[in-house]
Structures are given as C-alpha cells and as structure tokens.
Structure 1
Amino acid sequence: MSFKIPSIEQIRKLGDGMGMDITNSYAEAFINYIAPFADGYRQIAALPDDVPPIKYPRGHYYRPEGDENKHGAWIAKVNIKGATSGPLAGKKVAIKDTYSLAGVPLTNGASVLEGYVPEFDAPVITRLLDAGAEVIGKSTCEYFSFSGGAATSTSGPVHNPRAWGHTAGGSSTGSGALVALGEVDMAMGGDQAGSIRIPASLSGVVGIKPTWGLVPYTGIMGMDPTIDHAGPLTATVAENALFLEVLAGKDGYDSRQSDLEMESYTKAIGQGIAGMKIGVVKEGFGQYDSHPDVDAGVQAAAKKLESLGARVDEISIPWHLTGVPIWAAIALEGTYHGMITSPLPRHTEGVYPISLAGRLGSLRDRANELPDTVKVGMLLGAYTDKYYQGYFYYKAQNLRRRLRAAYDKALGSYDLLLMPTTRMMASKIPPPDAPLEQMMQHCWEQITNTSPFNVTHHPAISIPCGLGEGNRPIGLMLVGKHWRESTVYRAADAFERAGNWQSMGPSGKR
C-alpha cells in the first residue's frame, strides 16, 4: 500500500468531521508541512511485516456437505499434521472460525468476511501442532461471535447433537457440537460472554474459560480485549486439562499476558476433593426464567460433591446479578469501537492482521447484511458512545473492580463457587424470519451466569451434570481463584469420576 499526500478537500472534510474550521490556505500549509512524513510512511509500507510463522504445511480446504456435515458444525475441513510425537499425538482438533489459520478462510460466521484468508497461524494453533495434534478443520460459529444461540451464522444453524432442532450453544456452536459428536478430541473456542461454557453446557461436554491472558489471544477475532478469552472444549475433564497444559503460557506477542501463574493441570486429575470448600451461589439459581430441572440438577450435583468429601455451603453474592449490565456496557461499546469506528481494537501491543483490517474497513458498505444481534448491539453501542461520551463504558470498567472484589471476597473463604452454567437447557432454533424479539431472546438468554466472569477474569469450567426435560444436558459451572485452574479441574474431575452424568438429573437414564 502506498501513501499519498492528501488533497485540500480531504483535509477540509476531515477537519469538519472533528469540528475544525479549516480554510484552503490552512489546509495548503498543513499539506506542505506534512510532506516529509510521506517518506516515512512509504518506508513502513515497504518493510516486510512481522507476524507469527507458518510451521506446518497444509492441504486444500473444502466445505463438507450432506452426511459429512449433518449438524452444520463444520465451516471447512482441512488436514494439517503436526509433530510426529508429543503429548497430543494422535489427537484430532477443530479450530473455531475466529482463529487465523493460514490458507484457510476465516469468516467468524459473517457474510461480510466470506473469501477472507489469513496469512499466518494463531500461535496457539502452532502450539497444538508442535504437541503432535492434527488440525482437521474449522468449526462454525455465530455471526461475529455475537450470540449465545445457533441462529445467526451465515452458513446456517448448528443443531444440537443430543436434541435435533435445538441450539448447540454459542458462539462456539460448532466446537461444542463436534466434541459431542465424537468427531474431534478437542475444539478451540473463544469466550467473551460464555461462548465456550454455553456450548459445553447445552451440548453436554467440558469447556473452560481460563484466567484472562493464560492462553494467548493473538490472531483471534474478539470483541473487546478486556473480555476476550480462549480455551478448549473436550469430552472429558482429563483431556481438557491436558490441552490447556499445551495451550497456556506467553507467546511473545500478546501484551495482555503479564504475571502469568502456570501450573501442571494434569496433576490435578484423580486427586479427590476431601476437605475442599465450595460455595453454592444463591443468585445463580431461581432467576425469572430458570428451568426447574436445571436448578434441581445442579443442586443434586452440589450434594454429590459434598458426598465426595467437600464442604458445600449456600452463600450469597448480590453483585452477581449486576454482572450482566456491567458486561453489556463494556462489550457493546467496546465491540462498536473495535468493529465500526476502527477495523480492529487499538491501544494495545500485539499482532495486527492488516488484511483483516482492510476487510472490516468496508463493513459500513454491507451493514444491512448484519443479523439483528449485531445490529442491535452496534446501535446501542453507538448510542451510548455518541450521546453519553462513553460514560457507561468507562463507568463499567471502573465497576469491574467492585464485581471482581465481590467474588474474591467469597473465594477468600471458599476454594470454588458453584452455580448452573446456563439457566435453561438448549432451546429450539428460531426460523430465519423470526421477529427481532424472538431472535434476540434466543441469542442472549444464556449469558446471565457466564458473562460476569468475562468481566472479572476468574477461571470457570462447565461440565455436564445430568439430563433434563427432553433428555437435554444440564451444565454445572465451577469458578475458581485467578490462576487456580488446577483447583477447578480437581473438583470437576472428581465429579466426573463419581458416575455417568447421563444417568443423573430429572431425565437421566435409570
């Protein structure tokens, strides 16, 4: 890309947009002054970019159809073999379609990104391959990952493997479904409001949102850098711990990764929970639309943990119910700035996918293609930005500390917090022509218990704990102290070993 000296007319229009009265003579003086800058910009354009390397060759990609993609969970299939040995040797992996995978399209579920192909691999993908895993494709996700349901992806809905016609949970819809179907050993997800834990809950698999920054977010599309998390979805807790052990750690690019505290997560497996203290958060239950099967199933799971030797008490954290408003103020205005006013989030050091910025820069020309979820979110973000000068975003960022402190106070007395991952089980996927209210209800009904921990950055895991009405999975969420993923895994593994979760809950097999 070459840098061109601006015209007088361009400078006057720019000034007008910023409330400056720019005369022709002032614009001409400005142009003459900045002329020497042109050589510097041209030098930048001529230098080779500095992005993560591509270490492993890959074959051609294709979009599977028919029986090969019955549930709609694949957006593309490819074959990338990693190292011949390592802790993940023989493991098949799917990558959420928000991750940069060189030579394979990245759409983030969006029609406006169709045809975009990244030039580099996200570092976490290289880590998986270095450990011996095999990447076999990219999983479907919701449009710009802006939904907890399964109705907005440009490639169509993802059906729940355990309840056809119902959501697999979003926004990492395909990732949860592929693990539940047994087509992959692990799928990568992204979590801004629960997008790893919601599909884990609704599809009956294991998904963790690690402590913020533990897994590098380089080369992954997000919403707002202060709520973006990446993590694995697997069939078992032990496999989840194994994959996180490979994924965690600094990558040398992501400036959000400071003061990491690393553990050997697989050592937590099989340790038991005698003496562990677990707080059952009252506010996570009995909400206005909580399904009674979910509340009953999770309370029964708490009793099971108590029978395994843990001390289990009901506790109250009133601030928990303030988490969604705080999250919304950050996520909506943050995403508006990172997508509409600026093609990519700025003000942070890291890797910037320049070609993606170019594609997002033309988003305004195709804004009518956006689904209701994105339109509503961007309109509200634009409104609070323009008419309140960012007040609610800034205030929510300040209140983040009070919300975090409320959980930390409880975690000062307890090792873990416990509540339902989602208030209800998988709901039916609405038709494409559903009215705005129905579509928005479907897409955002599941985030009440999950999104607060995107704000506070605590590690949180969802594990299946039973079946409810219609044999739909129920998810149990365990929340730990920052950097204490091993404690989370220890309790989750103990519960998993205590019995077949599909035999638990009101509709479990007897």
Structure 2
Amino acid sequence: MPIERPNISQLQQLAGELHLQISESEAAEYLALMQPNLDAYDLIDGLSDEVPTVKYPREKGYRPEGEENSLNAWYYKSEVQGAQQGVLVGKTVVLKDNISLAEVPMMNGASSLEGHVPAFDATVVTRLLDAGATILGKATCEHFCLSGGSHTSEPAPVHNPWRKGHSAGGSSSGSAALVAAGEVDMAIGCDQGGSIRIPSAFCGTYGMKPTHGLVPYTGIMPIEATIDHAGPITANVKDNALMLEVMAGPDGLDPRQYISRGGSYIAELDKGVRGLKIGVVTEGFQLPNLQPQLAEKVRNAIARLESLGALVGEVSVPGHQLAAALWSPIGCEGLTMQMMHGNGMGFNWEGLYDVPLLDKHAGWRDSADTLSPSLKICMLIGQFGLKHYNGRYYAKAQNLARRARADYDRAFDDFDLLVMPTVPVTAPPLPQPNCSLTEYISKAFEMIGNTAALDVTGHPAMSVPCGLVDGLPVGMMLIGRHYAESTIYQAAAAFEASGNWQEM
C-alpha cells in the first residue's frame, strides 16, 4: 500500500518546521524530485519486518486482580514453558514489564502504552527459556521506569512485601516484590539510575546491575542507551549468578555490547573472601539523607566480611559524586531525545528495532498531560538543556564520565571490591494519592544518591541484603571492576553463607 504523499502546503509546513522558507513553485519542484525517494518508502512498507521467530508457545494469560495481586506487583500472568533440559529447569521467572514477551501485553507502567502486544521475545527471554526456565508473566514497573519509588506505576502503587503501605522501590518494583514475596524464584530488572538495586535494597533481594553492555538490551524498551542495563533479581546469590551466566554475552543486535564478554560465575561462589581487598567508599556514606541506623548496619556487614578474612580499608572516590551529578544531563537529555522525541527507539544505531512499539509510543503526545510527574520533570530538564544549550551539557557530561570512571578504576588499583550503602533510607511509606507535586517527585528520586553514579560509569554493582532496621531490609552495595561480576559474587556468597541476613 503506497505511503501518503504530502501536498504543496504540507511540504511548506514541513519546511517551516525545519526553519526553511520555500515558495509554492519551489515546493512543487521539490515534490517532483522527492518521488523516487518516496517510492523507496513504498517498497519498505510492502516488505515483512525482520524480527526473531517465537520459539516457545505461551498461554493467552490474564491480568490478575484482588487477592491474587495483593501487592499490585503483577501486571500480567502468562505461563511460558522453556526447554525440557537446561540449568534453569524448575526455576520460575517474572519479567519487568518493559521487556518484550511475544503475544503478551506490555504497558511499561504507563496507561499511554496500554494495548501494546510485542511480536517477538527479548533476547534475554529466549536465553532464559532455552536454559529451561518457566516464565510466569510480567511484573508491574514504574511509569516508563522513571522512579526509584513504587508509587508511579499505573493503575496502582506496588506495596512492599515486608510492610504494605511502604514503597517496594523502583523502577523494577514488581520484580523485586514478587521475588521477596516468594511468588517467583527469579526476576529480570532494568537499571538506569538504580532500578534493579533500589527495589532489591527495599525488599531484601539480591539485585545485580551488570557491567554496561554485558547483558543484551535487545527487545527491552530503552530509556537512554548509554545507561541502560538489564540484570537479575533473586532470593539468593547462586540463583543470581546462574541467571546472569545464562543472560550474559553478545547477541549481535545491541549497540551497547561493544566488547564480547560472558563468564562462569558459579565457579566463584565457594572461594570465600580471605585476602580479598575491599575499599569502603567514603563518599558513599556522606549522603545528606543517610539514616544512621542504616549506615551502622552496612558497616556491621563490612566488619563481618573483614571477620571472614577480607582486608578492609577506607578509600575516597571523588568521581562518585561527579558521576551522580553527570546523571542529570545524561539521563534527562538522553531520555528526552531517545525515549520521547525518538518514540522509544531513537536513531543512529544498528540492531533490532520494535517498529510497532515505536508507533504505539508515538501516541504519548496525545496524552502528555497524563504522564507521571517524575517523567515530566526529567523531560523538562532535558528539553531545557537541548533547546537552550544545544545539548552541549549532555556532550560534556559524556566526556566527563570518563574522568569519573577513571577515578573508580584508580580505586581498583588498590582494592578488589568497593562497598557502600545501596540506598540511604529504608523503604518509606507510599505517598498518598493526593500528595503534593513536591512530595510525589521527591519520593521518586530521594534514594538514588549512590546508585545512579554506577549507571554513568558502567561498573557492575550488586545490592546484598544485610540486616533490618525497624523491620525493613537494608542493602549493602558491592562494586567491581568492569566485567568483574565474579568477584562480586564471590564476596556476596561468602557473606550470605555467614548467617541469616535478617538476624544481623
């Protein structure tokens, strides 16, 4: 079916949007010259898309309600049985609802995307199924993944399984809540500012943000390609390492994967920490909203690692605070360009595009007022930087990210791992539906002070539960060199084996 051709007045309007002035006669001449190019569009329109085939059948599924979804953590239930053999046979998995699962609805926490049904499975989904996992469905996530709190998801906030009425953390809120509640063994989360580690810290799960590019993001709705990460959320270290082994490695379709890496992580779990050098990052304990009791729990956990034979010392990483500041122009201008102006896909990269998702998400402009305030403020910051400063601060921030990364790398000259609190607070109460704009936005970003920096530098970082404060979990964040996830797992497994974290 031929695409619609513009007429003369439409072409003059398009020219105006490009700051051009053309006469009617010029427009007519341009139109005639454009026809061979538009014929190419016709050719493309008539061809079938190049997308992966769906390997495993799946149930039609449904959206659970009432007691079946008491935490609001499920978006959609649809069982997909994986291969009959593999390392994940018998393991159940839930997917964050920005991850494509063919023939199953995907909403990404936002009503404007409701009704979208992906046509293919994300690479990580296929890998899990090939390894024998059983996928049980999709977990609720925050509104286009732009919140560290769990109050921005539509149609209702996600509750913490440790205490209803409190935040489960975001943006992989349902993923961590369902693992912590024991409804699934494993979950996939995604992390651009802390969205795997924050809900893991709030809910008491193990959440790994791998090295940038280690896990393919193909088939997952992005926010900003340079800070997009996907990784496992589990109830124990072994499952986490096993899941990452299955998901890691290049797929040839994700431009984030500029180095071919994978790894065997299970082999590291029994090595212990004797002789391992762990640096306590001074800046990680300097957040203005750090709860003293939470900081004490993390320091007690570090002392426990030391009692197991680790060599512990303090270290300053000035790039930690720099990287946290760099997140604003990179995250806000980047998401405004890629996720909003670029309709979720953006431009200038080779790989697998989800064309129907692009078409569906383009409709955000028709209901922009319904976007969450946490997304709106990022868009306003991003648009301001793009319009008034031509993106120069995004560009400079990307340059300065190398300085922040180098500061971390210098710390790794002396230490094998770095450690700090994952988040500065335990899970706070969910804001009321009629709360102020200030409270709504503050509760979305008050906890990202330590986590966002590692999205900018790309280093792997894992939240490990290490105690309770007033009955709510505390997370300790272990940070490794690029592609040194195995060292993180080594320390996390030793800590896990040393005692019940809930009693520490």
Fold similarity call, TM over 0.5: yes
Q: Aligned runs of 1:266-305 on 2, under 5 Å?
A: 266-305=266-305
User: Unpaired runs of 5+ in structure 2?
Assistant: none
3-state SS of paired residue (2:189)? strand
Tell me which residue corresponds to 1:18.
Answer: 18
1:93-136 Cα shifts (integer Å, max 9, x gaps): 00000001111111100010111111111011011111110001
3-state SS of paired residue (2:244)? helix
- Give the partner amino acid of 1:360: H
1:250-274 Cα shifts (integer Å, max 9, x gaps): 1121122122232200001111011
Deviation at 1:340, TM superposition (A): 2.6
Say if 1:192 and 1:228, in contact at 8 Å, map to a contact too: yes
Distance in 2 (CA, whole Å) between partners of 1:306 and 1:388 is 49
Deviation at 1:348, TM superposition (A): 1.1
Tell me which residue corresponds to 1:507.
Answer: none
Distance in 2 (CA, whole Å) between partners of 1:419 and 1:268 is 22
Distance in 1 (CA, whole Å) between partners of 2:473 and 2:144 is 26
Tell me which residue corresponds to 1:371.
Answer: 372
Aligned residue-pair number: 503
1:330-370 Cα shifts (integer Å, max 9, x gaps): 11111111233221221111111111111121211100111
Distance in 1 (CA, whole Å) between partners of 2:59 and 2:254 is 29
Tell me which residue corresponds to 1:205.
Answer: 205
1:354 aligns with 2:355: yes
Say if 2:82 and 2:128, in contact at 8 Å, map to a contact too: yes
- Give the partner amino acid of 1:413: D
Tell me which residue corresponds to 2:460.
Answer: 459
Tell me which residue corresponds to 2:384.
Answer: 383
- Give the partner amino acid of 1:65: E
Tell me which residue corresponds to 2:412.
Answer: 411
1:162-204 Cα shifts (integer Å, max 9, x gaps): 1211111100000000000111110110000000000110000
Runs of 4+ in structure 1 over 3 Å off: none
Say if 1:260 and 1:483, in contact at 8 Å, map to a contact too: no
- Give the partner amino acid of 2:135: V
Distance in 2 (CA, whole Å) between partners of 1:276 and 1:324 is 27
Tell me which residue corresponds to 2:81.
Answer: 81
Say if 2:58 and 2:80, in contact at 8 Å, map to a contact too: yes
Distance in 1 (CA, whole Å) between partners of 2:278 and 2:318 is 17
- Give the partner amino acid of 1:483: Y
1:317-337 Cα shifts (integer Å, max 9, x gaps): 122112222011111111111
Say if 1:217 and 1:228, in contact at 8 Å, map to a contact too: yes
Deviation at 1:373, TM superposition (A): 0.5
- Give the partner amino acid of 1:70: S
3-state SS of paired residue (2:136)? strand
Tell me which residue corresponds to 2:192.
Answer: 192
3-state SS of paired residue (1:35)? helix
Deviation at 1:151, TM superposition (A): 0.6
3-state SS of paired residue (1:246)? helix
Distance in 1 (CA, whole Å) between partners of 2:266 and 2:487 is 11
Q: Aligned runs of 1:424-443 on 2, under 5 Å?
A: 424-443=425-444
Deviation at 1:21, TM superposition (A): 1.1
Say if 1:286 and 1:295, in contact at 8 Å, map to a contact too: no
- Give the partner amino acid of 2:247: L
Tell me which residue corresponds to 2:45.
Answer: 45
Deviation at 1:441, TM superposition (A): 1.1
- Give the partner amino acid of 1:445: E
Distance in 1 (CA, whole Å) between partners of 2:191 and 2:471 is 26
Distance in 1 (CA, whole Å) between partners of 2:223 and 2:208 is 19
Give the TM-score normalised by the residue count of structure 1: 0.97
- Give the partner amino acid of 2:304: K
- Give the partner amino acid of 1:254: D
- Give the partner amino acid of 2:430: I
- Give the partner amino acid of 1:97: D
1:379-413 Cα shifts (integer Å, max 9, x gaps): 11111111111111111111110010010010111
Tell me which residue corresponds to 2:57.
Answer: 57
Distance in 2 (CA, whole Å) between partners of 1:128 and 1:262 is 15
- Give the partner amino acid of 2:282: K
3-state SS of paired residue (1:189)? strand
Tell me which residue corresponds to 1:508.
Answer: none
Tell me which residue corresponds to 1:143.
Answer: 143
Distance in 2 (CA, whole Å) between partners of 1:402 and 1:392 is 15
Q: Aligned runs of 1:212-227 on 2, under 5 Å?
A: 212-227=212-227
